[in-house]
Structure 1
Amino acid sequence: MSDSQADWTLVIDGIDFGEGPRWRDGRLWFSDFYQQTISSVEIHPDGSGTRHVELEYDGRPSGLGWLPDGRLLFVSMLDRKVMRREADGTIVEHADLSHVAGGHTNDMVVADDGTAYVGNFGFDFEAGDSVETTTLAIVRPDGSVTADTRELLFPNGAVITDSGNTLIVGETFGGQYTAFTIADDGSLTEPRVWAEVEGTAPDGCTLDADHHIWFSDAAGRQVVRIGGSMTMSDPGTVRLGTPNNTYACMLGGDDGTTLFVLTCDDADPSVAAGTATGAIYSTRVDRPRAGRP
């Protein structure tokens, strides 16, 4: 494993808790739990950014994605739903996950055909309840919902490979990434351990062209790059220290080699809500973005 130094550029600040960063149409999109907004960020040549609030939502928006026709999907954490923004800007319910989610819903990755894979806490994390396993929700493009059968420990950030046939999801309390084969009907098969990341809490993540994953470590001020069948002690695993606690990251920019990290003081709403102490930073890396999100 190698510890490297990064030259971080401040993109924007004034965020409470940023989540779900996505690169789309030349901008970085993200949600803010406690400011109850979804925004896009226009990136300037010097690396700084201008924030544009795309919508306000009376709830806690989280993971982001898009249907093939360009309509925005976003996770509504507290009521355990996926919402959809129509072409005219109205917000409607896309899917109700309350019957399959064991806790607040959180991150989401959307496949090329519009099938969404949504994680959830599995228990009441903010109330301090005991850790319990849960399953991924599979949301079809028409909004119908099924639950995968594989029990996971806090399924969180996930990616889909370029081929579209493999989903890889981080287990925040499981210390590993688990991969699935995506069947033609969107169901998940052949669960297997993809990489072991003991000692970290993998959160939001992004895939690069070498099929390595960059993930934000919610238990440490760092982002980590790891490949399949690797461990944290592998010489090829890379760790970059971040300016503050980080909970999500995304590759983007014109050539896909800008790594954006979302940071704040704490994930706890009693600490982060209303403080505007969060920020987005960026640095350059060698390998470009690949796959989804």
Structure 2
Amino acid sequence: MDKPRVLLDGIAFGESPRWYGDRLWFADWGAGEVVAVGGDGAAEVVLRPDFPTFPMCIAWLPDGGGLLVVSSGQDRVLRRTADGSLAPYADLSAVAHGWNEITADGRGRVYVNGAGFDLMAGEEFRPGVIALVTADGGARQVADGIAFPNGMLVTPDDATLIVAESYANRLTAFDVEPDGGLSNRRVWADLGTGCPDGICLDAEGAVWYADVPNRRCVRVREGGEVLAAVELDRGCFACALGGPDGRTLFLVATEWGGVDKARGGPRTGQLLAVAAPAPGVGRP
């Protein structure tokens, strides 16, 4: 792999990159912003939510349905309206509390996961869950026992959901049922010492996973065989495939000093880009 180039520097704490509308969008948890970046590195702050944004993940509904934003502290999913404001989309409080990653499939069904404990507050580990949000705003739990769920993706046929289990060093797959429920849980890839955070899928069926403690982004096939790796000088929190031909791997990376230093401090975050061997597919 080539050495990645830096598109944007000085990010407080970048997460949740998504390619949409010819730009790379990401959430800056530390600055409390959603930012869109063009191929030339020109950045635009498109949203400044009025709620605590650590964490805050984003997803796009299909067919121009709009941008969704997870408000973890409020246990809600919000949708950006035409005037740029945020409107309620789903209430997750009856399912669980404290939410993290979000993705939507091609049918408009939305999946949101929660860790099951408050890492930032120093709580002891408890397994997390995945919730399904339907088009009418209803929410229900569709999976549990997830060892710190992080990045999620849905395959292009909307038939499989893959989630990163950061504390179990694996990628776990589910079949997606006609009603959006999840079944047939299985280990998609055992990553050994790999610690997956954000993930994305390419057209050859391989998954890229960001790895914070190992400071890299790794491409693996089902079963866990490593196909490629991008080595970095700081923790890699998430990744996305995009660009005009889908063959650019975007990485958000930050120097990780531990939970007590995650908020505030120097802006060491970067958005990087490198050519990928296969274009991105699926969602996000």
Q: Deviation per CA, 1:29-81: give whole Å up to 9, x if none.
A: 0011121111110112xxxx011111101221522112233311011122222
Q: Paired residue for 1:169, among 163, 167, 175? A: 163
| Aligned partners of 2:211 and 2:237 also within 8 Å | yes
2:30 maps to 1:34: yes
Q: Deviation per CA, 1:174-220: give whole Å up to 9, x if none.
A: 11111111111111111111111121221011100111100101221
Counterpart residue number, 1:55? 47
Deviation of 1:121 (Å): 1.4
Q: Deviation per CA, 1:56-114: give whole Å up to 9, x if none.
A: 01221522112233311011122222111112222112112233235x31111111122
Deviation of 1:272 (Å): 4.3
Cα distance in 1 for partners of 2:8, 2:259 equals: 21
2:53 maps to 1:76: no
Counterpart residue number, 1:264? 254
Counterpart residue number, 2:177? 183
1:66-145 aligned at under 5 Å gives the runs: 66-68=60-62, 69-102=64-97, 104-145=98-139
**Structure-2-length-normalised TM-score:** 0.93
Unpaired segments ≥5 residues, structure 2: none
| Aligned partners of 1:119 and 1:154 also within 8 Å | no
Q: Paired residue for 1:276, among 263, 267, 277? A: 267
Deviation of 1:158 (Å): 0.9
| Aligned partners of 1:94 and 1:143 also within 8 Å | yes
Cα distance in 1 for partners of 2:72, 2:125 equals: 18
Q: Deviation per CA, 1:206-261: give whole Å up to 9, x if none.
A: 1001111001012210001111122xxx4x44222113211001111111111111
| Aligned partners of 2:24 and 2:37 also within 8 Å | yes
Counterpart residue number, 2:9? 13
Cα distance in 2 for partners of 1:217, 1:149 equals: 23
Counterpart residue number, 1:212? 206
| Aligned partners of 1:63 and 1:109 also within 8 Å | no
Cα 1:185–1:271, aligned 2, differ >3 Å: closer, same or farther?
Answer: closer
| Aligned partners of 1:180 and 1:191 also within 8 Å | yes
| Aligned partners of 2:127 and 2:144 also within 8 Å | no
| Aligned partners of 2:212 and 2:234 also within 8 Å | no
Deviation of 1:269 (Å): 6.3
| Aligned partners of 1:6 and 1:241 also within 8 Å | no
Report the 3-state secondary structure (helix = DSSP H, G, I; strand = E; otherwise coil) of the residue aligned with 2:279.
coil
Cα distance in 2 for partners of 1:96, 1:276 equals: 33
Counterpart residue number, 2:279? 288
| Aligned partners of 1:246 and 1:262 also within 8 Å | yes
Q: Deviation per CA, 1:119-142: give whole Å up to 9, x if none.
A: 111111112222111210111122
User: Higher mean Cα deviation, 128-137 or 162-171?
Assistant: 128-137
Identity over aligned pairs, percent: 36
Q: Paired residue for 1:238, among 212, 228, 231? A: 228
Q: What do you get for the CA RMSD once the two structures are aligned?
A: 1.6
| Aligned partners of 2:131 and 2:143 also within 8 Å | no
Unpaired segments ≥5 residues, structure 1: none
Report the 3-state secondary structure (helix = DSSP H, G, I; strand = E; otherwise coil) of the residue aligned with 1:142.
coil
Cα distance in 2 for partners of 1:73, 1:53 equals: 16
